[in-house]
Structure 1
């Protein structure tokens, strides 16, 4: 079904075919305005509703029925994809919307093996929490999903709805890898390529979980700013830890917390000693190697060796394994 047909099916009812000889130019009868306003009056809400309806229709066409479930009978996914925050105005708006108009978009769950009427969620955690808060059953589509299919559905739904921030995607990627999922599955879940996935995981590994949790999702901070924060962590980690320990820090919105942490990280530091350069086959300075205490940092000039840093990052695990093998043979 096209987007146009989906919208028409949501907001218009087709009239009966005209009797023989009658005019066929009569316009379809529109649904009353109250039904439309219940789905949201803004253009963004209508667009989101149309996309959700299209997804729902695809699932229903595949034979997936919508049922109502007690929220207490739904367990969380084994791999989290969100950073919990204490103050979430968007969640309060969702609770209000569901309370007034009902739950428009079902969540996706799978049956829990060996437990009758128990389910595990693939996506829709905020809708599940909202239903629990309101004390009502949650509308859900039940599908038999493998572990790989569950995390792929989980990732794609959040990407489609543009809910996850950069750091949440990075943490999701790292958690999937630590849980033992194959790279192919993680790539599908995040709809990304190998180079970007390596960056996600590298940044998530570099940043201490306590600092990320304190800062929160910071939806306006993209990859470059999180990367800048990660690059300073060895020198500024203690300063940022002192910052997040201040009671006033956690009262700020997440994006303001990130800005303060980045400002602290960007304060002047001691100049690195022992700097040297690596030159490529043409004799060009392609990377700077800096050693500070027990930390060694290699900074590649991507104007000279474009994409080489991403290539090397992807090979680090294999290179380290080769290094360990050589060490054992000595």
Structure 2
């Protein structure tokens, strides 16, 4: 079995393991688990270790999660993660089914929260946003585990949960990488959290540099638009004109599906702006008209009156090499 396989088993076990209260290790009075978050975060660096060590730390992680206590919180006291990993859904049908399941069977898995850094009476979610929303809309308390997490630990835990779910779109993962970069999370921890390699991490970053965040959010999840098509959009958004066309197109779009919005954005970015030919009158220093020059992005056309400007065509032809050299000097300077 490879190290890669071992890493994925850790990610999967973290997200899928159903915690049970350990009677010998209850949460403190504030409801916070006494587990050391540094020990949990240490598992993230295990990708460089032996398979035996990976298995040992996987078992330790499961035990730590099992020992974490649960509390019931008022959903109105819980805020979203400062690093959102979800774009707007195309419709709420799937969520309504999920909410109906919680209404009939209850919340199976707790969410993970931390105390809000700016308000100790409130909390921030690491993962479990849909469970929190369902509880809020149903008027129920939300079951939660409270951990002491800094920004780095919060996004790593969030990324582990995302990897196990495997239902985030490519764009959502790319934006989440940007959030982790902003939080100062190291590349090795981002790779471990999302189970991606260096080339994929580089592609996430490259697309987010080329395609503005407001454009990506206006498009939405676009689950059918994977890495190849997002990379194509990034290449097409190489200048401000292309981005302006995309923004204008999305603002006027009447489609409800994010995949359809992506297609509109891709076509708008790839479209070439047609420019009318610019016409200039060619005259000598006395103002006498010699001819007309017409300029297009890929064509220059000059017509002249041979009776007024005899030999002008031969002159232009002889001057072309010097013009090319002047052009090269201008481009290189």
TM above 0.5, yes or no, is yes
Q: Judging changes above 3 Å, is the alpha-carbon distance between structure 1 residues 248 and 116 closer, same or farther for their aligned structure 2 residues?
A: closer
Q: The residue matched to 1:121 in structure 2 has which SS?
A: strand
What CA distance in whole angstroms lies between the structure 2 residues aligned with 1:209 and 1:116? 31
What CA distance in whole angstroms lies between the structure 1 residues aligned with 2:192 and 2:148? 19
Q: Judging changes above 3 Å, is the alpha-carbon distance between structure 1 residues 229 and 141 closer, same or farther for their aligned structure 2 residues?
A: same
Q: CA RMSD in A?
A: 2.8
**Contact 2:19 2:66 (C-alpha < 8 Å) held by counterparts:** no
Query: Of 78, 81, 88, which aligns to 1:77?
Result: 81
Aligned to 1:54: 17
Query: Which protein, 1 or 2, shows the higher relative CO under an 8 Å CA cutoff with sep ≥ 6?
Result: 2
Q: How far did 1:64 drift?
A: 0.9
Q: Judging changes above 3 Å, is the alpha-carbon distance between structure 1 residues 205 and 99 closer, same or farther for their aligned structure 2 residues?
A: same
Query: Of 114, 119, 129, which aligns to 2:123?
Result: 119
**Contact 1:52 1:105 (C-alpha < 8 Å) held by counterparts:** no
Q: How far did 1:272 drift?
A: 9.1
Q: Deviations over 1:176-197 (max 9, x none)?
A: 2123333333233322222221
**Contact 2:178 2:208 (C-alpha < 8 Å) held by counterparts:** yes
Q: The residue matched to 2:179 in structure 1 has which SS?
A: helix
Moved more, 260-269 or 168-177: 260-269
The structure with the largest alpha-carbon Rg is 2
What CA distance in whole angstroms lies between the structure 2 residues aligned with 1:148 and 1:179? 6
Query: Of 222, 225, 238, which aligns to 2:226?
Result: 222
Q: Judging changes above 3 Å, is the alpha-carbon distance between structure 1 residues 245 and 172 closer, same or farther for their aligned structure 2 residues?
A: same
What CA distance in whole angstroms lies between the structure 2 residues aligned with 1:98 and 1:161? 18
**Contact 2:152 2:180 (C-alpha < 8 Å) held by counterparts:** no
Q: How far did 1:173 drift?
A: 1.0
Query: Of 181, 184, 194, which aligns to 1:180?
Result: 184
Q: The residue matched to 1:118 in structure 2 has which SS?
A: strand
Q: How far did 1:125 drift?
A: 0.7
Q: Judging changes above 3 Å, is the alpha-carbon distance between structure 1 residues 54 and 177 closer, same or farther for their aligned structure 2 residues?
A: closer
Task: Write the mapping of 1:69-148 to structure 2, written as runs, cut at 5 A.
Answer: 69-85=73-89, 87-112=91-116, 118-148=122-152
Q: How far did 1:143 drift?
A: 2.3
Q: Can you give the 5+ residue segments of structure 1 that lack an aligned partner in the other structure?
A: 1-49, 274-330
What CA distance in whole angstroms lies between the structure 1 residues aligned with 2:271 and 2:121? 55
Q: Can you give the 5+ residue segments of structure 2 that lack an aligned partner in the other structure?
A: 1-12, 21-61, 275-295, 299-333
What CA distance in whole angstroms lies between the structure 1 residues aligned with 2:171 and 2:111? 24
What CA distance in whole angstroms lies between the structure 2 residues aligned with 1:171 and 1:83? 9
**Contact 2:178 2:205 (C-alpha < 8 Å) held by counterparts:** yes
Q: The residue matched to 2:143 in structure 1 has which SS?
A: strand
Aligned to 2:251: 245
Aligned to 2:172: 168
